[in-house]
Structure 1
Amino acid sequence: MSQCVPPIPIRPCVLKYLGKTHNLWLRSTLMLEHQAFEKGLSLQIKPKQTTEFYEQESITPPQQEILDSLAELYSLLQEEDMWAGLWQKRCKYSETATAIAYEQHGFFEQAQESYEKAMDKAKKEHERSNASPAIFPEYQLWEDHWIRCSKELNQWEALTEYGQSKGHINPYLVLECAWRVSNWTAMKEALVQVEVSCPKEMAWKVNMYRGYLAICHPEEQQLSFIERLVEMASGLAIREWRRLPHVVSHVHTPLLQAAQQIIELQEAAQINAGLQPTNLGRSNSLHDMKTVVKTWRNRLPIVSDDLSHWSSVFMWRQHHYQAIVTAYENSSQHDPSSNNAMLGVHASASAIIQYGKIARKQGLVNVALDILSRIHTIPTVPIVDCFQKIRQQVKCYLQLAGVMGKNECMQGLEVIESTNLKYFTKEMTAEFYALKGMFLAQINKSEEANKAFSAAVQMHDVLVKAWAMWGDYLENIFVKERQLHLGVSAITCYLHACRHQNESKSRKYLAKVLWLLSFDDDKNTLADAVDKYCIGVPPIQWLAWIPQLLTCLVGSEGKLLLNLISQVGRVYPQAVYFPIRTLYLTLKIEQRERYKSDSGQQQPSSVGNQSHSASDPGPIRATAPMWRCSRIMHMQRELHPTLLSSLEGIVDQMVWFRENWHEEVLRQLQQGLAKCYSVAFEKSGAVSDAKITPHTLNFVKKLVSTFGVGLENVSNVSTMFSSAASESLARRAQATAQDPVFQKLKGQFTTDFDFSVPGSMKLHNLISKLKKWIKILEAKTKQLPKFFLIEEKCRFLSNFSAQTAEVEIPGEFLMPKPTHYYIKIARFMPRVEIVQKHNTAARRLYIRGHNGKIYPYLVMNDACLTESRREERVLQLLRLLNPCLEKRKETTKRHLFFTVPRVVAVSPQMRLVEDNPSSLSLVEIYKQRCAKKGIEHDNPISRYYDRLATVQARGTQASHQVLRDILKEVQSNMVPRSMLKEWALHTFPNATDYWTFRKMFTIQLALIGFAEFVLHLNRLNPEMLQIAQDTGKLNVAYFRFDINDATGDLDANRPVPFRLTPNISEFLTTIGVSGPLTASMIAVARCFAQPNFKVDGILKTVLRDEIIAWHKKTQEDTSSPLSAAGQPENMDGQQLVSLVQKAVTAIMTRLHNLAQFEGGESKVNTLVAAANSLDNLCRMDPAWHPWL
């Protein structure tokens, strides 16, 4: 019925009923959304104004029904962000909008307060006049969400009272709260009432609660019923599961949580059976009980679960821990020697501590302190639990001190000072000293803080946290005072903190170590400290930082880090070999280029053999960094001969994957066109007079002279690889030269790009010629075979198997895994496909892992030595940021996680890029839709410049209004707002698939927009955005830091903060933009702003490499003098530190601005409105496709 044209009208309440009763959830939701927008729900995305009231008259009764039904479906689907986005558009009271915003981000105390304010306000209005029925849904919302906030804030006593209040009895609420406060009589009465009129989706819960009563009601314990009740509850829960959409998402969470509660009902019955007087003395019943308690301790809810679910699990367990204590204490009067009651005491105490810890991690610090204080209700708490309780309490004050200030620091100090330390072990006392040092440092008692840290590590040398805190303290002083001995101490502390803990926790400390090297003196005092103290650090800790270590290897500190990198290369040969091989070859190419430009000699040197020794034959001297690289590679070859000869063999065969001559020319023409478009936009002030820039002219001339023979350092590469490479290149050159089509095209090409012809220097003439040739070559490429077989050309790859050598699949070591389970290559699959991706003709290679899965990789020839490393640097940063997102409730709950493909450079001009065969770029979608409509995809760009030229011909400059008109004209005649949405509807006809794709697309776009704006990355062009059709995940090929070539600062001037163009916002809908998109951005910003993630430390280390590379490039461009060793001068430390600090400050300022959340308002709303505003979009470069 939904497909009928014109649509069949169905009433919203009927749609809602069909949706939830007949498993048409998402089809109904999409139809209701459509109705809501048709009936005039505003499509405008605007920043919220605090004064703005939504007039209740503006919503008509039919609209009201649509919005109520839609809101209820969102709520039942657990789509909190969509629900919030919808309600914030339609609520009458501004307090409601504020409360919803607070609740969305887990600020339940503030949300509860706002709901109460709204209720007070409505009460006052009622005293004056009657309320209209239209506002009842909002009243209902206040009550439901006030109750939710109370649950999250652990206020169960108050809720039980509220549920029993006269004239407004709510048996469902009483049922949920009474058992937590051990009011079994009230629970029994409520259960009787609920059973009479229970909706079927609650049936499993009623049976579970019957079970709770059967075990815990003191007068009516009936353990024999439990098995039957567990069976019924499970069956009913499974029946509910079948009524939900087939793709698992938030709506399934309550049933997954139910599964844990039902199984723990069964286990609780086992405990209570063992506590019956007849079984109490038996050893096997005690053994069974210990097993259940141990299982419970290990089976925790997950980070993203609400605190109310943690409370359901922990409070249920508490009843049984107490039962164990009571039973054994009563029996121990007959047998004083048994100490079995302690099993219950310890379990009870550690559950309270764990519960308090989770409340603290979810930001509910007052709730956490309240929970922790309940430990005093347990008699004789074990020492280890006392320690953990005080530790959590101190951490609560530490967290508050970050927000509130000194007062909380003093409270935290007081807790430590008033603790009697004589009962604790050395390790516990040491941790208290370290925490005390942290508080003292915060209130500026520096000397005392230093003493506390020192005492902590003397007392317990292997206490990682103490070393790390002391390192932080010393680093802060060192950066202010710049006394090198403090820097050495800080580095020593950080390296001690990495000696014996899991890899992910040590990343932030090693980042600090690498950053501190920027402050080194001429004697390399700090690098010396790293060399001396890195011995205890396990090599795995360095894997995430290999690119940074290699930057150091090239710098003056390189000679001192040679040992360290050799150590890592010994244990993880593959992780070090490819990067260092690429670095070595890059240095070699750079040295040769320098040699050429110095001596003016054009002869290539003959380095045919593979021995990269320092005494290379030929006139080129190996620089010190080249010598260091070759030394490490030699060492690796001696230690792992089989593995490294296999790696060399694999890379050697990759040369057969080079592009054909026309693919190469096509790629270069596309690069040339992109260059021309950016010049055209710079010179859009005078379109018809725009001339080609010298840089572009050189590029095109070079392209003409080397037409199809490759201008990519071919001679250099061929001299470095072994036989297969030179053979394949020679064959390609020969085949190309003999191809008559090639000869004919080459002639036409040379004539076309003859710059002596009049008018040929005009930019727009060149653009149209480039477009013509791109078409010719695209047509030619389409006729080529789409795949080839590996055995035809690559015997080594074809014969390779797991027996040849143990080679991990590419990129396995980019991020170390906690499991240490790495996937090895079993075989290379026989078919290699030729695909158009990332603006080039790439070869897709399929690798079968030893786990049976197939991993597709693209072999890319995108030869640009410096840019490739810059792109990989941003990918590395995103990989390092991902673990932070997994640790915070608000980000894991929304499944926020950067999609980062693996990219491994195997040589300076070639890399392997992890691929998803189902993915395609936004531009490809656009081209598909244009072809369907029969319009040229670059017509809008031509139209833009034609219009500008027409206006300029009249002698005036294009006003802002003209730019707006051009954008509107393109939207109405060429690229409608609904193009992307039409593609998605066509690709995903099933409502569940469409919904899931759109939801994933929204949160991934939020992450990408956040990264582009906060990290100051280059603008997101539509060809960079890769969309995976099987998952909805988005990744970007390739982001780079947007650094000003002249100054080295991050560029921050752009009309729009990130990509949220009309087509994208139409597809996501306004509810999607103001709901999930905005909420996800706020959640990510708040996550990275957490001080304990030390994001600024990670940024400094990654940007240090970026600035060093920028400096090297500016030196090469200006041909600065070389040092005595024949290599460019290293960057001045002071300049490096100040540039990096400036960049990091710019990033952190943006981050903290977005993370601020005062009064439920965030800067993100303003940014989203700016990104979506036509006034800003029309000022963007047309090659960015602002209409798409």
Structure 2
Amino acid sequence: MTSFLFSTLSSNEIQDIFDIVEQANTKYFNKDMMSEFYSLKAVAYSKLNHNDEAQKLFSCATQLSDANLTRTWINWGDFLLKQSSIINDDESIIICYLNACKDLTEIKARSILSKIFYLLSHDNENNNNNKLSICIERYLSLIPVQHWLFWLPQIMNKLIRNESSQCMLAILNELIRLYPQAVYVQIKKSLRKLIENKHDEKLIPSTPITPSIDINLNLPIISYRQQAINNLNRLEQILLGQHPTIVRILDIIIEQLNTINETLFEYIIKRLYQCQRKIYEDLVENKKKLPEDVKQIIQHLKDILNNDDNEFKNIQQIKIQFLNDFNESVLNTTHISRSFVLLINKWITVIERRIEQTEPRIKHLNQIKYLQLLSFNSQITNDINMPGELWHAPEANFYFRINKFFPTIERIFKHERYFNRLTIRAHNGKIMYYLLSNNYQTISYDKINSQWELEENTLQFLKMINNICIRKEKELLKRHMQIFLPHLCTYLSSLRLIEDNRLTINLIEIYNNRLMLPIKKYYELIDDNNDNLLNIYQLIQNEFFSNKYLLHQWTLNEYTNATGYFSFRKIFTISMSFYSTLNYLFGFYMYTNNHLNIQRSIGNINPLYLRLKYDLNKQDENIFLTPNIDTFINRFGKMGPFIATILSTLTSLAQPKYQIIEYLKIFYKEDIHMKHPELTQKECVELVENIARQLETKLNQFTDIDVSKRIVSELVENSTDINQLSRLNPLYYPWL
């Protein structure tokens, strides 16, 4: 604990402490005490920039004793990491961190392993010859296997990109022994992704090229993609050999779930909403050109309807009308017209009405077609975990395993698309609900704009923030602050299961679906006058949303007694301020109201589909409160728990002892790799370091409590400024 204090002290204060420590009588210290004493002296020397003395003392501390060395190894690794710009010795840093991981629990080891994975980015630079990955392989037997489980997505991504592939294969071989389900799901998903995306292949020689080889010799070449497929197939064979029953059962589950698709109309609705959102986003950015993505999606829908007359003979009228409305002349227009926007909105309404009238809300699975899925019992599936269950820490004292799939599925509309809600009973009798997402068809637009990898990366990002400081900081714990994350499992690129809570409701449902009319009006007005956003905002608010008590009235109806009302409002206020703070720092897209799920039982907010924004220069550095939320929280809530939560969150994350920026670099790097696969390792690292500097600058403002209070007061004061709200994306519904 003393080593943490050094990070908050000035050089003069450290020197004063050091002078006192130097006078200590160590005559009666045993080896363990001397080891800890040398470690603290080394930290003090490093703060005073006496690097050679610090190195010697760290070395002495690790040699004197074999017990309680975890903190010493971490301090030594952090010291070497700060010196890495001067002394390029990444191998020594990794050795220190690996030694520290040996005696840590899985949750505590996450922060150390995040640094190790980020350091592996330098493995192929400066002619390292994979020294870092070889170093990890050498220490692999000393690290508990469960420590690698959380990092399975990063391990698979490195294997696919052929980065330290031999080391990643060694780690996966260890994981296969204890966690075959988690590894198999990742292999299945990655294999399908590689097979579907056959473009952007980079060629590498199958054997190393040496000067002795004749330059005219034609070497066989193999792509990164093919090499990754070969590695994954090899792992799949190992899995099948070690755990044949589990592999067979998982294959059955994936195959059967993959046949539960969207209906044609549900698929059309999803695609039309994608077009609508894309057009609205372009209009906000003042882009008048009709996006090619929209043209591609509409043409794809036309091709589906034209595909087979026998299959769609019962919807001939809709088919003819759709083809006439979106004829060639409409798709060949270069600019976004008001008529085109109205046409999209019209067809969304038509198809939604058709679904409600013709398709049952509750369906029953065919007992013959889904015989294998429905005939599962506890004796067969007692080893199969619930989807997403392995997101928990392995040492958690609870778990859920599949006991039975129920034959009924329910149609649910959430997040601008329809889902099938599955019901699964756990081994202990608990009933759990999952939203099944499975595409009717996949097009090239999905492969380019797929968000599932980005969303899963962001979920890992949030889990790291949870573990690093939110669960450790007293100021946040007493406010019951915690990021609630749903179980989520992606079996294939188009097949996902997302844990669903029947007690959640989003703000769109609370506002009684009054939203599309003002959106249409907004784009009619902005089409005529793109400059006067404030007048447009006020006009829409006065015409459609003069009532600022919609959320307040819903809460009064939901909680009839005073205790329920005030408890809900308090927790809602704290949750809103907490997620607004994370949005301010990291740039999450969380203000879209249909992505803000509120737990009716307690008032917590669970934003789904969060994504990182790493272009922080364009980020709106503000916290926003729309009129209905502002009225519900009221002035006393804003000046009390709202400001207090923002202040405590920012000051906690800014504390030097957590080194939060160092821990989160790997997630930004993975995010950049997914969005820009054409970038090299070096370019990705440069981008990440730039993001880290921006985050550090922002967080450093909150190390001083007086400055923090002033900044937070300004942020909250400006949160309801209509000039700021009028510039928000209208899909955030700022007038609500």
Taking structure 2 as the reference length, what is the TM-score of the superposition?
A: 0.90
Partner Cα distance (1:873, 1:482) in 2: 32
Question: Partner of 2:597 in structure 1?
Answer: 1026
Structure number, greater radius of gyration: 1
Question: Partner of 2:461 in structure 1?
Answer: 877
1:646-661 to structure 2, matched below 5 A, reads 646-661=249-264
SS of the residue corresponding to residue 657 of structure 1 reads: coil
Partner Cα distance (2:366, 2:539) in 1: 54
Whether the 8 Å CA contact 2:506–2:598 is kept in 1: the answer is: yes
Structure 1 unpaired stretches of 5+: 1-391, 599-618, 685-689, 710-733, 931-936, 1044-1048, 1116-1130
Would the alpha carbon gap of residues 981 and 1141 (structure 1) be closer, same or farther in structure 2, given more than 3 Å must change?
Answer: same
Would the alpha carbon gap of residues 828 and 758 (structure 1) be closer, same or farther in structure 2, given more than 3 Å must change?
Answer: closer
What amino acid maps onto 1:1100 in structure 2? K
What amino acid maps onto 2:630 in structure 1? S
Which of the residues 188, 192, 213 maps onto 1:585? 192
Partner Cα distance (1:916, 1:1148) in 2: 36
How far is the alpha carbon of 1:870 from its aligned partner? Answer: 0.4
Say whether residues 1:896 and 2:467 are aligned partners.
no
Whether the 8 Å CA contact 1:997–1:1032 is kept in 2: the answer is: yes
SS of the residue corresponding to residue 719 of structure 2 reads: helix
Partner Cα distance (1:1154, 1:744) in 2: 62
1:930-969 to structure 2, matched below 5 A, reads 930=514, 937-950=515-528, 952=529, 958-959=531-532, 963-969=533-539
What amino acid maps onto 1:768 in structure 2? L
What amino acid maps onto 1:906 in structure 2? Y
SS of the residue corresponding to residue 1172 of structure 1 reads: coil
Which of the residues 428, 434, 444 maps onto 2:49? 444
Question: Partner of 1:264 in structure 2?
Answer: none
Question: Partner of 2:218 in structure 1?
Answer: none
Partner Cα distance (1:824, 1:1019) in 2: 32
Alignment identity in percent?
Answer: 29
Deviations 1:57-86 (A, max 9, x none): xxxxxxxxxxxxxxxxxxxxxxxxxxxxxx
Question: Partner of 1:525 in structure 2?
Answer: 131
SS of the residue corresponding to residue 832 of structure 1 reads: strand
Question: Partner of 1:748 in structure 2?
Answer: 321
Would the alpha carbon gap of residues 565 and 500 (structure 1) be closer, same or farther in structure 2, given more than 3 Å must change?
Answer: same
Question: Partner of 1:860 in structure 2?
Answer: 437
1:784-863 to structure 2, matched below 5 A, reads 784-790=359-365, 792=367, 793-805=369-381, 806-861=383-438
Aligned residues: 700
Would the alpha carbon gap of residues 1019 and 854 (structure 1) be closer, same or farther in structure 2, given more than 3 Å must change?
Answer: closer
Which of the residues 1063, 1076, 1083 maps onto 2:641? 1076
Would the alpha carbon gap of residues 1154 and 782 (structure 1) be closer, same or farther in structure 2, given more than 3 Å must change?
Answer: farther
Which of the residues 650, 660, 674 maps onto 1:1095? 660
Bigger drift between 894-903 and 1148-1157 goes to: 1148-1157
Structure 1 segments of 4+ aligned residues over 4 angstroms from their partners: 619-622, 757-762
Question: Partner of 2:18 in structure 1?
Answer: 413
Instruction: Select the structure with the greater relative contact order (CA < 8 A; seq sep ≥ 6).
Output: 2
What amino acid maps onto 1:552 in structure 2? K
How far is the alpha carbon of 1:450 from its aligned partner? Answer: 0.7
Partner Cα distance (1:657, 1:1072) in 2: 46
Question: Partner of 1:994 in structure 2?
Answer: 565
Whether the 8 Å CA contact 1:971–1:977 is kept in 2: the answer is: no
Question: Partner of 1:718 in structure 2?
Answer: none
SS of the residue corresponding to residue 408 of structure 2 reads: strand
Partner Cα distance (2:114, 2:200) in 1: 33
Deviations 1:411-466 (A, max 9, x none): 44345433333433322221221121111111111011111111111112352211
Say whether residues 1:971 and 2:541 are aligned partners.
yes
Partner Cα distance (2:315, 2:73) in 1: 67
Would the alpha carbon gap of residues 663 and 492 (structure 1) be closer, same or farther in structure 2, given more than 3 Å must change?
Answer: same
What amino acid maps onto 1:696 in structure 2? V
Which of the residues 651, 670, 677 maps onto 1:1086? 651
What amino acid maps onto 1:565 in structure 2? L
Say whether residues 1:1052 and 2:618 are aligned partners.
yes
Partner Cα distance (2:484, 2:578) in 1: 9
How far is the alpha carbon of 1:511 from its aligned partner? Answer: 0.8
What amino acid maps onto 1:1052 in structure 2? K
Say whether residues 1:983 and 2:554 are aligned partners.
yes
Question: Partner of 2:180 in structure 1?
Answer: 573
Would the alpha carbon gap of residues 621 and 987 (structure 1) be closer, same or farther in structure 2, given more than 3 Å must change?
Answer: same
How far is the alpha carbon of 1:1159 from its aligned partner? Answer: 6.7
1:911-926 to structure 2, matched below 5 A, reads 911-926=496-511
Whether the 8 Å CA contact 2:388–2:488 is kept in 1: the answer is: yes
Which one has a larger percent helix, Structure 1 or Structure 2? 1
How far is the alpha carbon of 1:771 from its aligned partner? Answer: 0.8
Question: Partner of 2:339 in structure 1?
Answer: 765
Would the alpha carbon gap of residues 1146 and 1030 (structure 1) be closer, same or farther in structure 2, given more than 3 Å must change?
Answer: same
Partner Cα distance (1:798, 1:451) in 2: 65
Whether the 8 Å CA contact 1:977–1:1066 is kept in 2: the answer is: yes
Whether the 8 Å CA contact 2:8–2:656 is kept in 1: the answer is: no
Deviations 1:742-777 (A, max 9, x none): 333222111110132599654321111111111111
Deviations 1:528-580 (A, max 9, x none): 21222222100111122111112221233112321012212221112222122
How far is the alpha carbon of 1:674 from its aligned partner? Answer: 0.8
Partner Cα distance (1:433, 1:1179) in 2: 57
Partner Cα distance (2:407, 2:291) in 1: 46
Whether the 8 Å CA contact 2:120–2:133 is kept in 1: the answer is: yes
Partner Cα distance (2:174, 2:75) in 1: 27
What amino acid maps onto 2:534 in structure 1? R
What amino acid maps onto 2:70 in structure 1? V
Whether the 8 Å CA contact 1:1156–1:1163 is kept in 2: the answer is: no
Partner Cα distance (2:692, 2:200) in 1: 33
Partner Cα distance (2:608, 2:436) in 1: 14
Whether the 8 Å CA contact 2:373–2:405 is kept in 1: the answer is: yes
How far is the alpha carbon of 1:1050 from its aligned partner? Answer: 3.8
SS of the residue corresponding to residue 612 of structure 2 reads: coil
Question: Partner of 1:640 in structure 2?
Answer: 243
Whether the 8 Å CA contact 1:661–1:708 is kept in 2: the answer is: no
Would the alpha carbon gap of residues 1062 and 533 (structure 1) be closer, same or farther in structure 2, given more than 3 Å must change?
Answer: same
Deviations 1:258-292 (A, max 9, x none): xxxxxxxxxxxxxxxxxxxxxxxxxxxxxxxxxxx
What amino acid maps onto 2:181 in structure 1? Q
Which of the residues 295, 320, 341 maps onto 1:697? 295
How far is the alpha carbon of 1:589 from its aligned partner? Answer: 0.8
Deviations 1:119-147 (A, max 9, x none): xxxxxxxxxxxxxxxxxxxxxxxxxxxxx
Deviations 1:767-819 (A, max 9, x none): 11111111111011113211223453422221112211311112222231433
What amino acid maps onto 1:945 in structure 2? Y
What amino acid maps onto 1:450 in structure 2? Q
Partner Cα distance (1:565, 1:581) in 2: 14
Whether the 8 Å CA contact 2:647–2:708 is kept in 1: the answer is: no
Partner Cα distance (1:1038, 1:525) in 2: 38
Whether the 8 Å CA contact 1:542–1:568 is kept in 2: the answer is: yes
Structure 2 unpaired stretches of 5+: 204-221
Would the alpha carbon gap of residues 416 and 1154 (structure 1) be closer, same or farther in structure 2, given more than 3 Å must change?
Answer: closer
Taking structure 1 as the reference length, what is the TM-score of the superposition?
A: 0.57
Whether the 8 Å CA contact 2:436–2:498 is kept in 1: the answer is: yes
